[in-house]
Structure 1
Amino acid sequence: MSQRPSLADIRRAPKALLHDHLDGGLRPRTIVELADATGYTGLPTRDPDELAAWFLAASQSGALNRYLETFGHTVAVMQTRASLVRVATECAEDLAADGVVYAEVRYAPELHLEGGLSLDEVIEAVQEGLTEGAQRAARQGTPIRVGALLTAMRHAARSREIAELAVRYRDVGVAGFDIAGAEAGYPPTRHLDAFEYLRRENAHFTIHAGEGFGLPSIWEALQWCGADRLGHGVRIVDDIEDLAESAAPDAGPGTLSGTAKLGRLAGYVRDKRIPLEMCPTSNVHTGAAPSIERHPIGLLRRLRFRVTVNTDNRLQSATTLSEEFAKLVEVFDYGWDDLEWFNVNAMKSAFLPFDQRLSIINGHIKPGFARLAWAAP
């Protein structure tokens, strides 16, 4: 049981994913084929392998705005009902093949209207695809449950409209609401009417905060907007003074040693068990973290913040959820208990009724990890 979990074993583990973008997870070959079908001529290359390499290279600039530019190509081929159904179907299949048993996949309906679809038609197409993908996965013996998060863009003015759609479709597959896009200059408080509406409707929402901007973005998301979760939240580390290396150099990754001084905001986030949707590889690519080795997730896990591990954009970062966990195992020497802890955190934080969260934790996550841990030499 002391052996490090291998990537192959991690792929077999039942995992939960809260932060995955639909337009950031397309298969390169699908992009090429959809470009041909829709007449889009803007791709940098039509070779799927070269295209995958281009997305990864373009996403490693260390700047969030440059990272976001890559979505121009994926969104461009997602403007018809057929393309949305296909992309959503393949998303569910790909996640299930990686061992994900629960996922929340987010997308911005307002970005898929150029082909003449209405917002309702976009949502219904994506939901059809996610349902079809889950059914296909079940037939392959890799069951998955997928909920959608409807995202509003920070720089636009449609957040209230998207929030109303999230409420309207919450009983047919939409799990919640999100806002995304460049943080600097676009504070979440610009969308207060949407968040106030969601709270009145007892709806769930997360906010991208603390990725491209610092503590003020996190503070506004929580104290003004009332976010249930923080998308990324990496910069909460700016409110923590880490004393562990000098005071307790032998403290393991699971040790709550008291060797850190938390500011008021960081203390609030930990005390309130506010989930942090961290995406290690993406956070490095966008410049939110300097490296996997220096990613705040190590400190935050040690201090028992409600940390979850996510993919963000599987295409741009050339990653899977299993690969994200494998990197953390390599860098922080995590074992099966640590990986189970991250996944239980994710399920505790999912936008599902309590009994359904508990059913997945006790029926899939814990038994699956127990089998893998005891099977290890």
Structure 2
Amino acid sequence: MTSETPNLPTPDQIRRSPKVLLHDHLDGGLRPGTIIELAREAGYESLPETDADKLGIWFREAADSGSLPRYLETFAHTCAVMQTKAALFRVAAECAEDLAEDGVVYAEIRYAPEQHLEAGLTLEEVVEAVNDGFREGERRAKASGHRIRVGALLTAMRHAARALEIAELANRYRDNGVVGFDIAGAEAGFPPTRHLDAFEYLKRENNHFTIHAGEAFGLPSIWQALQWCGADRLGHGVKIIDDIEVAEDGSVTLGRLASYVRDKRIPLEMCPTSNLQTAAAASYAEHPIGLLRKLHFRLTVNTDNRLMSGTSMSREFEHLVDTFGYTLDDMQWFTVNAMKSAFIPFDERLAMINEVIKPGYAELKSEWLFQQTASTSGSVSV
């Protein structure tokens, strides 16, 4: 073993590493068993399976279609069982618990309040139930020896016409658990400029927002999200690769938009496994994250929908380590990028980086070095 050997993390070290999650949908991360129990309580009889293991498999297989619209259809079942305060509270609390167990120390979880009104809840009741659930999940995590902070991103559905209303809702709760705004749903036919009034409102209010762009649609979606709407971050953004040319000799030329994204340090919320499912990338090896990392774009690693993708933050990093040989240093780089890009005040982001993330990785690197030294010493004949 030489000093040049990369400090490739083990699965256990990946799980224990401090992680930051910026792109995860609340209705895409339920426990299968919880879905079954909530469906029974709500009298919802349309689940395709009533066994937790089989239901989890069904969600993954249904989502693994290569089509974003088909992928989004799976949410009909999860949203159907999230229509009461108690259900929303439970799902949010379990979300925080599950993420903390996976080593996530900070998360921004997004959901669309307008999708949880079928049983008569108001938008405000939805937000407050979810906020209360996150706080409960944080308390449970702390009691079990984990640390996590969860903020909410309120999402408007891009095919609907309530974006301004949801943006105003996000602004009202900005000091009470909500850290920003988002639009989501099928990109094709529903450009971000359709909701320009919501984004203009948020800019006037000095509030934060991210936009799903460049996932299933191309460069025009990214351009509109940035130059018309003024997004702080891009949800996915994988199609920025279409503005980057790689010559046969390996030289790289960035187009104007790609240069702008890199120069302005626009954070890209990469979700590798989800991107494979929706055909935004053909394989982990061909995922744009590999080239974009080499080009020093502001990249973050995320889960998108843990249930549908059968994933977690640890699994996402395991795939990247296996595919690209990423080290603990790379993992720290992605994690610090994410924390820098979070929608909380600067001093709080800095404290998380200096007091939680860097010390956590320093401990893992010391542990790795000790293991390698012990391994080398043990291989020497005496």
TM-score, length basis structure 2: 0.95
Contact conserved, 2:7 with 2:328, CA < 8 A, in 1?
no
- The one-letter amino acid of 2:167's match is A
SS at 2:212's partner residue? strand
Whether 2:23 is the aligned partner of 1:31: answer no
Q: What does 1:282-297 align with in structure 2 at a 5 Å threshold?
A: 282-297=274-289
* Deviation at residue 2 of structure 1 after TM alignment: 2.5
Alpha-carbon offset, residue 359 of structure 1: 0.3
* CA deviation after TM superposition for structure 1 residue 146, in Å: 0.3
What do the CA deviations read for 1:75-134 (whole angstroms, capped 9, x no partner)? 000001100000000000000000000000000000000011000000000000000000
Distance apart, 1:297 and its partner CA = 0.2
CA distance in 2, matches of 1:66, 1:375: 44
What is the deviation of 1:260?
A: 1.0
Find the aligned partners of 1:6 and 1:187 in 2 and give their Cα distance: 42
Look up the match of 2:171.
167
8 Å CA contact 2:7, 2:365 repeated in 1: no
Could you say which residue in structure 2 is the equivalent of 1:236?
A: 240
Question: How many Å separate the matches in 2 of 1:236 and 1:316?
Answer: 24
Aligned-residue offset at 1:242:
2.1
Which residue, out of 349, 355, 363, partners 1:363? 355
Q: Distance in 1 between matches of 2:177 and 2:126?
A: 13
- Counterparts in 2 of 1:1-377, with a 5 A limit? 2-243=6-247, 246-247=248-249, 259-376=251-368, 377=372
What SS class does the counterpart of residue 101 from structure 1 fall into? strand
State the 1:374 CA deviation. 1.6
Query: For the residues of structure 2 that align with 1:52 and 1:327, how far apart are their CA atoms?
Result: 20
**Larger of the two Rg values belongs to structure:** 2
Report the 3-state secondary structure (helix = DSSP H, G, I; strand = E; otherwise coil) of the residue aligned with 2:308: coil
Q: Alignment partner of 1:172: what SS?
A: coil
Deviates more, 1:1-10 or 1:209-218: 1-10
Partners in 1 of 2:11 and 2:169 — Cα distance? 39
Q: Which residue of 2 aligns with 1:255?
A: none
Aligned partner of residue 175 in structure 1, secondary structure: strand
For 2:133 and 2:328, locate their aligned partners in 1 and report how far apart those are by CA, in whole Å: 33
SS at match of 1:316: helix
Structure 1 gaps, min length 5: 249-258
Aligned to 1:253: none
**Superposed displacement of residue 151, structure 1:** 0.1
Segments of 4+ moved more than 4 angstroms: none
Letter in 1 for 2:81: V
User: What displacement does 1:141 show?
Assistant: 1.0
Identity %: 69
| CA offset digits 1:36-72 (Å, max 9, x no partner) | 0000001001000000000000011000000000000
Partners of 1:357 and 1:84 lie apart in 2 by 28
Q: How many Å apart are 1:247 and its aligned residue?
A: 3.2
CA distance in 2, matches of 1:266, 1:294: 18
Pairwise CA distance, 1:169? 0.2
Amino acid at match of 2:188: A
The 2-side partners of 1:260 and 1:40 are apart by: 53
How far apart, CA to CA, are the structure 2 residues paired with 1:351 and 1:130? 17
Note the residue ranges of structure 2 that are not aligned, 5 or more in a row.
Answer: 373-382
Secondary structure (helix, strand or coil) at the match of 1:261 reads strand
Give the drift of 1:147: 0.2
Mapped to 1, the partners of 2:71 and 2:12 lie a distance apart of 29
How far 1:8 moved relative to its partner? 1.1
Task: Classify the secondary structure of the residue corresponding to 2:280.
Answer: coil
Q: What is the root-mean-square deviation of aligned Cα atoms in Å? A: 0.8
Amino acid of the structure 2 residue aligned with 1:141:
G
Please, what TM-score do these two structures have when normalized by structure 1? 0.96
CA distance in 2, matches of 1:328, 1:46: 33
